[in-house]
Structure formats: structure tokens, C-alpha cells
Chains A and B, each alone.
Chain A
């Protein structure tokens, strides 16, 4: 880094944008915890600066030719050089902007949502920690820095999921999220270690260059790609590490909107895009990722079809959309994946924040209950949520339509049609479950149904202050809804920005299949139609076709028993076998052995002490015997 860092506006903006939230985190944790208003002000101010910086950078480098890098020494050990720095290119600028904007909106929204919470300061401290980690990760120049801040993002997520820590389910969910993503991260770490040892460099641009193939064998690249993908699977909740994300909804709703839909879980997909050229050097790995993406998407969609919890629906849909993005990237369409990531961030944050208003107002997560209590009375969130659901279902002209089409185009370009069929099936299911939720709230059934156990609300005691804060919470909704409406129109400029100048990566394959457009929209519409028949129309039974088949419903509701499997594995293998066995070994074998030696020593001493009895005749007898033996030895 040059000495004139303050003269370079780009660097200054990057530093301010990425590091100010950390300053805010430290300030809140150390000094301003007792003053909630001040803490929130500091945090929101910091993230506002981040937004300004990010937008400034995006505007300044809209016609970026070559990636800009700034690095400084962080650590040197022997031959290992770990830099800390920033790398700005089209992708990282885009991600930086997304993260900054969504963080900002969510923090503003939280002013209303979290008002009066005893942990208000702590909440904003963690939000700042998250913003810092996520933004520094987005513009990391090396995979090691990427990994470091990736882990910190995981930490922030752990803290925010378990924010209501007095609730067992919340602390359990936080722990589960941390440990489960840790499993993926270990693979990720091993993967980058392998790259480091064999390629000797973790710079992202170098890893993406053609150099890699010269220095690493194809098999090794495949192995590294699969290991690194473990991280993606953990963070983006891909099969088989997907079950932590639904549980993560225990956090406050704005947290779900920020982390577990728009930004943090998208970090996995972002990493995929970040080292997309590296991944795409291994066709085997890409096919595997395609399969994982598809399995994830379909599994999560089925789960979303039977849940009653409004946040759970969006959680499952997040998983399934992430799977869809992974499919898009793995199909080779770099732009399509990133574009869907961008649009998804907008409309999924919108959906969650809308749900938050409902949950806040009615103190329940149950969508049947919200509908019955007159959920549609909340005009702004209701309209916004419908817009978001339409975007999620891929209906034109909303943003989701464009990005989904782009991915479908990519899938259609593949040799094997099964991927496209899977994608289309997913689109159908997505439209179905999204509008199931919308219709349930919009047209609640008059039939009184048996009361279901309430899924934990968020535990606010009083709801007298809601009305005044409604507008604080409504503004972010309107902004996001506008984004959802217009973002699709920016497809071409975004594509030029992202792909036009990007050397190695190719554009999205295909997209020129006119029939595909009609089929995809048709399927989405029929999904909506089916939802209408079952839940929307007058006199609808409001029982889905899945719910009629009891075993299938149970299978879906139990999340395909993946969690049961993990539970059994943990209880019987980790606790039951290893932990138990080792502990027993410690107590009985090692300790027992040592104690045995001690007892033997003490016992031996006691035995010998009988000889020292002080009785003269015994001593004389022994002396005589010894002398006799010595005499015998000498004489014969």
C-alpha cells in the first residue's frame, strides 16, 4: 500500500466502507452497550457510509478494465505470505453493493422491529460485525482472506441466530448452524490448503488464470474443487448440509432477511462465482455440483409445500433458490447465476421483511393464523409480499423472471435434458408453494380448524408501539419492492458490466430458446393456478394435494429425515462411541493404569515393611541364611 492512500479515493472508499462497521462493532461492545439509541445510531451511520462508499465505487468503476488490487502484509511466516487487502472487480463491486444496501435497509427496518428489546445494543453490534465480515469477504483478494472472513460471517450468524438465547430452540439453532457449516468449512479449508501446497498461491485472480491447469493435474483440480465446494454446501445450505437453515429462522426476522436469505447464505454461491473459472476447469466436479444443486432445489421445494410457518416457507425457498443458482453456475452460465443471486437478494429480503411485519403485528408465525386474524389488512406488506412472491415464482415482469429465464437458458444448453426438466419442475413447485402462502393470507378460510401449536413468535410483550413504527418498517419494503419491479430491466447493462469485460468467463449459454420462455412461464402460471384451486378460490378446502397423502406429507414435513439421521449419528457415533469410549479409556485404562502402579508401589512397600519388623530373631535368621548362601557360593 502506498503512502498516499488517502489521496486515492478508491482505496479510501473501500477502506471506509469495509472497515467502519468493525469500528462500530467495537465501539458498541466496549462503550455504548448501556445506551441503545446511541448504539443504533453508530451502527446505522457506519453502514450508511458503507452504502455510499459502495455506490461510489460501483459508479466510479462501472467501466473497469482490469481488477484493482491493494494489499498489505498481514502475516509472514517463512515462505508463507498472507496479505490483507481489497480486490475490486465487477463481481466484488456488485456483491459489495448488494451487501451494503441490504444491510442498510435491514438495519433501518430493525429500528422499528427491535425497538424496546433488552438486547438492542447487542443486536446492532452483531449487525455491524456481520456487515464488516461480509463486506471484507466480498472484496477479499485471496482465498485465505476469503476463508477468514467467511468464518467471521459464520460467527456473526451464530450470534444473531441465537440472539434470543434464553430460548432453547434459538441457542440450539445457532449451535447447529455453526457446527454444520463448520463441517463444510473444514472441507473448504482442506481444499484451499491443497491449492496452496500444490499451486503455491491463493490469489483469486491467479487461481482463476489458466496457469492452474499447468501446475495442477486434472484429478487434483477436481479434488480441490469438490473440497472447496464443501464450503459452498455448508454456507449455502446445499444437500446434504441443508437442515441448519430452516432452524436458523429462530433469529429475529430482520436477521433472517439479512443473513439467511439475501446475503450470508448467498456467500456460498458468491464464492462459486468468485472462483468460477477455477471450478469450471473440472467437468466432473461441475456435473457433481449440478446434481447437488438440483437435489437441493427439489428437496427444499417439497419441504416448503407442507409447512405452516411463514418464515419456514421462505427459508425452504431460499435453499431451493440457492440450489437453482448453483445449478446455473454449474451449468456454465456465470452471468445467470450471479444475476439470480442479485435479484434473489432483493426479492427474498423483501419477502422476509414483509413477513416480519405480519409476525410483529400478530405475534405468530403460523400463516393460517395470520390469515384468519386479517393479515391482508396490512396493505403495504401484503402488496409487497405478493410482488415478491411473483418474482420468486418467475412471473414476468418481475426481476425473478429474467434471472430464472437466464438460468433455464443455461440448463437448456446442456447435453443431458434431465437438468432442464429438474429446473422446470422446481419452477412449478416454487410457484405453487409461494402462492399457497399468499392465498392463505389473502383469502383465509372461514372454516374453524383445530388449533395448531403456535410456532414460537418472537416474544415481544406489548404491541402498543407498533403503529408508530410501522412506517420505519414500511420504507425498506417499498424500496425493495421497487428494486424487484425494475431490476429485471437492467439485465443487459448488468450483463455487459459483469461479463463484457471479464476475460475468462463466458456469457450465459443459450437463452434464445423461445419455446423455453413459454414453457417456463406456463409452468409457473400453472403452479399459481393449482395453488388457486386448492387455497384461493371460494370454498377451497385449503388442503394441498400433498397434505392429502399422509406418508408423503410426513416425509416432507420431517425434512426427508435428514435431521433424524444427523441426530442418530451424533448420539450414537459421536457421543455414544467416540466420546464415551475415549472418556472411559481416560478414566479406566490410563488413569486406572497409573493408579494401579501407585497402588502396587504402596502395596509393595507395605509388603516389604513386614521385613522391617524389628524382631531380632528374624533379622538374625535372615543374616544367617544370607551368610550361609554366600559361604556355599564361595566354597563350591
Chain B
């Protein structure tokens, strides 16, 4: 047993589990109590994950805050949590999005208890995947996080919710079906009888062929969740169908789970497979970037627009991972964080507008800036971040990815860069049609965002701006993990 100090990571994880259990024993009529309990138990992970991010010792590097307990001796399964430069931004992202998501759903009236219970179950799985260094646990947490999406969408969703929920579940389970054999294949062939990633990632454990074989399975399996083109169509449909906070968690965090899985499992364990398949990854990522932007151009539903912009932005993550360079990895991880916060803000703004106007069809809105200037302001800020305006977080991520992509794959990199124009066109078009122009008389009486419901949006906007102005706060942490990793490649 190995506990460096206070088990921060487990506290984060179990605060979600305990939150879930506490909610389960509260009677369903005590809606306000349930919300407050949720807020407290989502606040703890947020505070702790931010603390860990800043407490991480960058000079020392490596895995820190390690908690390692042997669980099943005969199969070498460890309860093994640790933090490094790759998962710290993800943990912080999850903490922020969970907390702001709970606040965004403050007005919820329908089956409050079940909603927050499922949310905590989902997020517990997400935290588990991000912090776990054991293959077995990663897989278990991964599936834990997938299951609650179905009821969350099917019960509290809108627009074709059963179809969206079913489609999403089938896709993601298909992904799991690829991941499980790959994990078992690696476990059997390592000969080490362990699921410990640190042990399995030592050079020479797997032959090049094994790495290539396992990598493609893992890449496709996790890639489905990351919205890799052409396996992305579940994601816009799912986004549209989901209720606001679920969209936030889904697009903001869950899709990162896929990309993170590619990084933590596929790339960590099969670096040679990574280098072998990088060309293909770059092609698919570039397709996603260009394709997402063009399809987004044709959408008339606000949530579909954001859904396709996510496909495009997750393509940037994929492109970064495909470059096999320090800059690319840095950019990809940074983009996961930046895109998570940005999409959460987009969905929460749209959520507010939808809640008040009961429509998210662009042609029916218009002139919203006059009616709700503050709510519109947040959306516009996030949209600007989405089109890569400098000094907002995602600019730096895109910059790093594009620099490395242009170096490694000039043509694909240049194509992806050119897609920025289309991206700008489609986002500004949405902003123009929705927020500018003559106001719709029908919505004139609707109230603007007031201070308290504005808090979650304020947090997200502040994060976008702060990391945009001071990107090195984020990159110095990611660097600590990416530089040794790339240097250690065979």
C-alpha cells in the first residue's frame, strides 16, 4: 500500500459516489435539499481538482498524488490512482463542468432526485477514467460513465430523445466492444499478469505487431466516443436530445474521455502502433475538422450547430495526437480542456435561451442581444473562442496543433488551417441570425440572465479568458508529461 499523503484523488472520486448515495436516501420531494447536496458534493471535486492542478510539483514531474492498493492479486489488478500533466487538466475540467452543470440545472423540477443521481454516477465514472492508472479500472469506470447517458437523455431530453439516446448508447457500446478485446489481448500477451499501466508501458513489453493490432482497436473504440470522423454522427444527435447540463457534461467532458482514452491507453501502451497509424489518424482528423465546419454551416438548430462545431474541434485534438510531437500533444491536451470549457459555456447559454423561449431553431430567434444582452454576451464570447480568437483559451491549443501539424503533414495541416475560415463563417452566421437583427416581439418580455443564475456562466467565461491570457499556466503542467513521453519514444 502506498499513500504519499492525503488521498486527494480518491476524495474527488468518492465525493461523487457519496453524493450519489446521499441523494438516493433523500426523499424525492425534498428537491431543494437534493440540489444543495449536489452542489456541495460537486463543489468538493472542483475545489480539489483545481488545488491539485496548482499543487502539482512541476520540477519533480512524473506521477504524483499516487494511491496504489492491490485489489485482485491473481490478475494483478490495482486500485491505482495518480495525477500527471495529462490528466490534471482533465480533472480540473471535469470539476468545473460538473459544478457549473449542477448550477445550470438549478431550475429543474422534473424527477430531480433521479437526475442528480444519474449525473453523479456519470461523473464518478469520468473521474475514475481520468485518474486511474490501471487498465481494468479504466475499462470499468469507462462503462460506468456510459450507462447513465441513456436515461439522462431519454427522460429529461427533447427533440427525438429516444432515438438520440439509443443511438448514442449503441455507438458507445460498440466502442466498448472494441476496447475490451484489445485490453484482454494486451493483458494476455504482456506475460506480466498485471493491469498496471506503468508496468505495461515499459518498452519491450509488446512486439511491434501486437502494438499495431491493439492500437487500431483501441483507437477506433475510444475514438467513437471522441467523435472521430466518420463515427461522429451519434454526437450531434445526442447533444441535441440531451438536457442542458447533460449536453455540457457530454460535449464538455465525455467526448474528452474518448480522446483521453486514446492517449492514456492506446498511445501509452502501444507507442509504435501510434507511430504506425498516425497517418490514418491525421487523415480522419482533418476530415473531421473540414467536414464538421461545412456541415455546421447548413444547420438551423442551435444545438446541432454546436454539435458539429464539436466534431470540428475534436478533430483538432485528433490532429494534435496524430503528429507524434511535443507541440501536438500539448496542443491536443490543451484543446481538450479549452474545448470542454467553451462548449460547456455554449450549451449553458443555449440552455438558458431554450428554457425561456422554448425554441432553439435559429430562424425563430433573432435579436436576442436586445432582449437578453448578458446571456447573449456569454454565447458570443464562447463562439469567438470557438473560431480561434486570440487571447481566449482555445487559440493557443489550435496554434500548437497547427504548428506541429503543418510541420508533420503540410497538406493536411494547411487544409485544417483553411477550415478556420469556414469555421468563422458558420459561427458568425449563427451569432448574426440568433443575436443580431430585429428582435422577435414574441420574446420581448423575457427576462435576462440575473446574477445568481449567471454564476456558472461567469466561471466558465473567466476560465476561458484567464487561460487565454496566461496559457503557460496550463502548458507548463502539460509539458511536464509530454516532453519526457515523446523523448522516451522508441
Contacts and interface: CB of A to CB of B under 8 A. Distances in A.
A78 B407 CA distance: 14
B297 A80 contact: no
Interface string B2-36: 00000000000000000000000000000000000
Nearest to A171: B436
A282 B120 CA distance: 62
Contact of B429 (A175, A580, A598): A175
Contacts of A148: 390-391, 395
Given A77-B327, A179-B428, A193-B402, A591 B297 contact: no
Contacts of A467: none
B311 to A, nearest CB: 10
Nearest to B439: A166
**B contacts with A: majority SS:** helix
19 contacts: A75-B471, A77-B330, A77-B479, A78-B326, A78-B479, A80-B403, A147-B390, A152-B389, A155-B389, A166-B370, A166-B438, A170-B436, A171-B432, A171-B437, A186-B420, A196-B403, A575-B297, A580-B298, A590-B230
Interface in B382-425: 384, 389-391, 395-396, 400, 402-403, 406-407, 414, 417-418, 420-422, 424-425
B58 to A, nearest CB: 12
B325 interface: yes
B78 interface: no
A224 to B, nearest CB: 13
Contacts of B486: 78
Interface string A447-490: 00000000000000000000000000000000000000000000
Given A155-B389, A166-B436, A179-B421, A598 B170 contact: yes
A165 B327 CA distance: 39
Contacts of A618: none
B81 interface: no
Contact of A591 (B233, B407, B476): B233
A76 B331 CA distance: 12
Among A78, A178, A583, residue most surrounded by chain B Cβ atoms (within 10 Å): A78
Contacts, number: 124
A182 B436 contact: no
Nearest 10 interchain pairs by C-beta: A78-B326, A171-B436, A165-B436, A148-B390, A579-B297, A583-B298, A582-B294, A579-B298, A175-B428, A77-B330
B168 to A, nearest CB: 12
A172 B429 CA distance: 9
B367 to A, nearest CB: 6
A141 interface: no
B424 A182 contact: yes
Given A76-B476, A574-B422, 11 more contacts: A78-B325, A155-B389, A166-B436, A166-B438, A175-B432, A179-B424, A182-B420, A183-B421, A186-B421, A590-B230, A594-B233
A355 B384 CA distance: 33
B310 interface: no
Interface in B144-187: 167, 170-171
A190 B417 contact: yes
Nearest to A152: B390
A578 B295 CA distance: 8
Among A147, A174, A179, residue most surrounded by chain B Cβ atoms (within 10 Å): A179
A594 B169 CA distance: 13
A580 B294 CA distance: 8
A606 interface: no
B108 to A, nearest CB: 29
A467 B475 CA distance: 56
Contacts of B294: 574, 578-579, 582-583
A229 interface: no
Interface in B435-490: 435-439, 471-472, 475-476, 479, 482-483, 486
Contacts of B384: 155
A579 B419 CA distance: 12
Interface string A553-588: 000000000000000000000110011101100100
Given A172-B432, A197-B406, A598-B170, A77 B326 contact: yes
A590 to B, nearest CB: 5
B295 A165 contact: no
B421 A80 contact: no
Question: What is the interface residue range for chain B against chain A?
Answer: 35 or more
Contacts of A182: 420-421, 424
A548 interface: no
Contacts of B391: 148, 152
Interface in B288-339: 291, 294-295, 297-299, 325-327, 330-331
B406 A149 contact: no
A168 B437 contact: yes
B428 A582 contact: no
A193 B406 contact: yes
A579 B421 CA distance: 14
Interface residues of A, number: 46
A162 B436 CA distance: 9
Contacts of B406: 190, 193, 197
Given A77-B327, A598-B170, A186 B400 contact: no
Contacts of B414: 190
B244 interface: no
A574 B297 contact: yes
B286 interface: no
A6 B439 CA distance: 50
A498 B167 CA distance: 66
A73 interface: yes
Contacts of A170: 436
Contacts of B170: 598
A151 interface: yes
B475 A76 contact: yes
A78 B483 contact: yes
A583 B327 contact: no
B104 interface: no
A532 interface: no
A162 B425 CA distance: 15
A165 B369 contact: yes
Nearest to A570: B425
A73 B390 CA distance: 17
Contacts of A76: 472, 475-476, 479
A189 interface: yes
A178 B424 contact: yes
A575 B428 CA distance: 15
Contacts of A183: 421
Contacts of A147: 390
Contacts of B295: 579, 582-583, 586
Contact of B400 (A80, A168, A590, A591): A80
A328 B330 CA distance: 43
A241 to B, nearest CB: 12
Contacts of A155: 384, 389
A165 B437 contact: yes
Nearest to B486: A78
A87 to B, nearest CB: 18
Given A155-B389, A172-B432, A80 B417 contact: no
Interface in A186-236: 186, 189-190, 193, 196-197
Contacts of A579: 294-295, 297-298
Contact of A586 (B233, B325, B439): B233
A77 B481 CA distance: 12
Contacts of A166: 367, 370, 436-439
A165 B435 contact: yes
A582 B486 CA distance: 36
A147 B171 CA distance: 41
Contacts of A590: 230, 233
A635 interface: no
Contacts of B298: 575, 579-580, 582-583
Contacts of B395: 148
A277 to B, nearest CB: 25
A178 B428 contact: yes
Contacts of A77: 326-327, 330-331, 400, 475, 479
